[in-house]
A = this chain, B = another copy of it.
């Protein structure tokens, strides 16, 4: 079991990981190899103290170098569910489960709003993992809602299994080659069904499907952790970055404005210290 699991690829997640490394903790950091798009795509960052007039790409480079020097490598998986079990947490990340005594959520703000009905149908037609759940839909009709080109290979993978796939590619320059893919260039609005998902509704239309795969960088905080307190759309934290659930901490943009690199790095730093204190006080 890990002491602490950190989730997120922005400055908050990196800052938390660096601090945990220095504090000698046994931790796992779930992140993509590239750090948050928000950082790398920034044109010019002037207010990150100590790195004046730096490009987003330059800032990304500095952050990645810092990880490399510290010997910190991310686990490149997307965590889709966190469950409390016997005083610790089980994290589901694609096809694997991980255990940790405490969790630090640094999951940013992008792509987070769940679809209407999404939470209701998780595990009852809604899946976040092509490789885990794809084979449940062999020869069936599925829908795929994807917000990032980097998941396009998973679209092709799913199309190879399903009979028909309604694909909602919510990103630029999609290139989907599967012949059974039916592209719908609309934002899905609502999921409906009885006990199981039946329909994906979008503006001026609907698609009937046995399952919906949601392929995005992260799921909404309240889908990720049931019962997590949300305030004005952000994870509610105290000054020590603790949430309403003992053992779960949060840092960075997911805790609300201002959306700033220094604020995120600072909260990552604080959350790491608070999480370490938390596990030290566990029996």
Least CB distance, A45 to chain B, in whole angstroms: 10
Specify which of B19, B65, B257 is in contact with A52 (CB 8 Å cutoff).
Answer: B65
Asked if A239 is an interface residue, CB under 8 A from chain B, the answer is yes
Name the residue on B nearest A270 (C-beta): B263
Question: Which residues in window 37-63 of A have CB below 8 A to B?
Answer: 46-53, 59, 62-63
Bitwise interface map of A from 14 to 33 toward B, beta carbon under 8 Å scored 1, else 0: 11001100100000000000
- Chain B residues with Cβ below 8 Å from A69 are 52-53
Asked if A267 is an interface residue, CB under 8 A from chain B, the answer is yes
Specify which of B59, B65, B256, B264 is in contact with A266 (CB 8 Å cutoff).
Answer: B264
Asked if A265 is an interface residue, CB under 8 A from chain B, the answer is yes
- Chain B residues with Cβ below 8 Å from A257 are 273
| Contact (Cβ within 8 A) A63 B50 | yes
| Contact (Cβ within 8 A) A70 B52 | yes
Question: Which residues in window 243-283 of A have CB below 8 A to B?
Answer: 256-258, 260, 262-270, 273
Asked if A237 is an interface residue, CB under 8 A from chain B, the answer is yes
| Contact (Cβ within 8 A) A50 B59 | yes
Least CB distance, A214 to chain B, in whole angstroms: 31
Rounded to whole angstroms, the CA-CA distance of A30 and B238 in the bound complex is 30
| Contact (Cβ within 8 A) A262 B269 | yes
- Chain B residues with Cβ below 8 Å from A108 are none
- Chain B residues with Cβ below 8 Å from A125 are none
- Chain B residues with Cβ below 8 Å from A65 are 52
Rounded to whole angstroms, the CA-CA distance of A273 and B262 in the bound complex is 12
Rounded to whole angstroms, the CA-CA distance of A258 and B239 in the bound complex is 11
Bitwise interface map of A from 93 to 134 toward B, beta carbon under 8 Å scored 1, else 0: 000000000000000000000000000000000000000000
| Contact (Cβ within 8 A) B273 A269 | no
Specify which of B18, B46, B239, B269 is in contact with A22 (CB 8 Å cutoff).
Answer: B46
A residues in contact (CB < 8 Å) with B:
11, 14-15, 18-19, 22, 46-53, 59, 62-63, 65-66, 69-70, 237-239, 256-258, 260, 262-270, 273
Question: Given A260-B269, A262-B268, 12 other A-B contacts at CB below 8 A?
Answer: A15-B47, A18-B49, A49-B66, A50-B51, A50-B63, A50-B66, A50-B265, A52-B65, A52-B70, A257-B273, A258-B270, A260-B266
Some 16 contacts from A to B, beta carbons below 8 A apart, are A14-B49, A15-B47, A49-B63, A49-B66, A49-B265, A50-B50, A50-B59, A50-B62, A52-B66, A52-B70, A237-B239, A239-B256, A257-B273, A260-B269, A262-B266, A264-B266
